[in-house]
Amino acid sequence: KETVVSGIRSTGKLHLGNYYGAVKNFVQMQNDYNCYFFIADLHSLTTHPTPADLHGNIKHVLVEYLASGIDPENSTIYIQSDVPEIAELYLYLNMNAYMGELERSTSFKDKVRANPDNVNAGLLTYPVLMAADILIHKATKVPVGKDQEQHLEMARTFGNRFNRLYNTEYFPEPYAFSYSDKLVKVPGLDGKGKMGKSEGEANAVYLSDDPETIRKKVMKAVSDGGPTEENQPKPEPIQNLFDLMKVVSSADTLAHFEDLYSKMQIRYGDFKKQLAEDMIITTAPMRERILDIAKDDAYLRQVAKHGALKARESAQKTIREVRSLIGFKSF
Ligand code: TYM
């Protein structure tokens, strides 16, 4: 079986972007692959969370993984910081990661622009830690959303560079994966870009949002005055709402509103109402499970412990072999 690795940063509750870009594929992949799904808590340290926030956010992701249907008996679910071998591999890979290429990464440049007062070394070497996450289990498939594509390319670069340096074919090449023909990008509700945690509460619909909250957010989503000509291309905010409908609604529902739009008969009130109801239908079962699982700390502790053991077994094997390739030996 091929090995799969993916993770989500512990920075808050999961939204529809995380679900359709990543977690939905995780759930589907667990039967066909040897899967490792983790909570990227080390990655979340770049923004300096308080200990209490950090712990709460790790719990959110763990609970929501389980509520989405990831089965801890089938997949290995673990917390990144429980596997110190990842940090060790990160150190080795850092020796072959160059300033220039790290500075050119799109996500680094975006973060610098958004937060010029916190350009720390952890942020610069974020793609190296991500490569370590993937290479530690020698994974070949990485289910992620569109925004992670460049990071995967960097992971291949760092793995290949290690192979060349030590004249080995030790690390296989990891590729971004999605069951849909393209990597997914779920837009937000602000009419501008992707759904994200940092773009503000109202931009994202969370798996744990109750129906009333979802209705309110969707009804307030940015739209416009409506089409002014037949068969007109859609402006970005409208296209975004259609893209959201494409992920949560049936093909018939989507076709129905596409048709109304092209005939200039669409009423955004009805369109948004339908979109909100379909979001509620897809998230409701997960929301109920989130509320239940979050109460069961003993179960969460057991899942995290079991996952850490399994993940460490695989990671320790890699680190043993990597150390030997590098040339560390006992006297
Ligand atoms: P993060 O925590 O930002 O997002 C987690 C996953 O959700 C996907 N995603 C989206 N997909 C589609 N549309 C959106 N609007 C959207 N927003 C988020 C992301 O593509 C991602 O798959 N660097 C990673 C975490 C990470 C990782 C790894 C992933 C660390 N190490 C190793 C895979 C393998 C990140 O920041 O994701």
Tell me the CA–centroid distance for residue 144 and ligand 1, in Å.
6
> Which of the four pLDDT bands, split at 50, 70 and 90, describes residue 330?
confident
Specify whether 232 is located in the same domain as 248.
Answer: yes
E strand intervals along 141-188 = 141-143, 175-177
Nearest CA among 184, 155, 217 for reference residue 19: 184
* 192-234 pLDDT tens trace: 889 997 777 789 999 999 999 999 999 999 988 888 888 878 9
Please give the mean pLDDT across all residues of the chain. 96
Mean per-residue pLDDT, 138-163: 98
What span, in angstroms and rounded, lies between the C-alpha atoms of 45 and 122? 8
Q: How far is CA 160 from CA 137, 164, 169, 254, in A?
A: 15, 6, 8, 43
pTM score, whole prediction: 0.96
Kindly state whether residues 143 and 264 are assigned to the same domain: no
Question: What is the C-alpha end-to-end distance of the chain, expressed in Å?
Answer: 37
Cα-only R_g, the chain? 21
Tell me: do 154 and 215 sit in the same domain: no
Active site residues: 111, 194, 197
Cα 274 from Cα 9, distance rounded (Å) = 31
pLDDT for residue 202: 85
Number of domains in the chain: 2
* Same domain assignment for residues 147 and 233: no
pLDDT at position 274 is: 98
Residue 39 is inside which H or E element, if any?
strand 34-40
For the Cβ of 144 lying below 6 angstroms from any atom of ligand 1, the answer is yes
In a domain, 158, yes or no: yes
Do 112 and 215 sit in the same domain of this protein?
A: no
Residues ≥6 apart with Cβ < 8 Å to 38: 5, 6, 7, 77, 78, 79, 80, 83, 133, 307, 311
ipTM (interface predicted TM): 0.99
Order across the sheet with 141-143: list the strands.
Answer: 76-79, 34-40, 3-9, 141-143, 175-177
Average pLDDT over residues 10-14: 96
State how far the Cα of 57 lies from the Cα of 9, in Å rounded to an integer: 9
pLDDT 10s digits, 53-96:
999 999 999 999 999 999 999 999 999 999 999 999 999 999 99
Percent of the chain residues past pLDDT 90, beyond the cut: 92
Q: What are phi and psi of 116, to 5 degrees?
A: -65, -15
- Two tokens, residue 67: 């509520």
| Pair 160, 283 in one domain | no
- The CATH number of whichever domain residue 250 belongs to comes to 1.10.240.10
CA angle 190/195/199 to nearest 5° reads 65
At 260-302, the pLDDT tens digits run 999 999 999 999 999 999 999 999 999 999 999 999 999 999 9
Same domain (yes/no): 10, 134: yes
Residue from 89, 148, 173 to probe ligand 1 pocket by mutation (most atoms less than 8 Å from CB): 148
Ligand 1 mean position, distance from CA 8 (Å)? 6
Q: Is 186 in the pocket of ligand 1 (CB under 6 A)?
A: yes
If asked whether residues 177 and 216 sit together in one domain, one would say no
Amino acid at residue number 102? L
Q: Ligand 1: which of 144, 175, 180, 184 to mutate, judged by most atoms within 8 Å of the beta carbon?
A: 144
Same domain, 178 and 74: yes
> Which residues, including other chains, have CB under 8 Å from residue 226's CB and lie 6 or more apart?
264, 266, 268
Contact predicate 62/79, CB 8 Å = yes
For tokens 């940015």, name the residue: 222
Domain enclosing residue 251, as ranges: 208-291
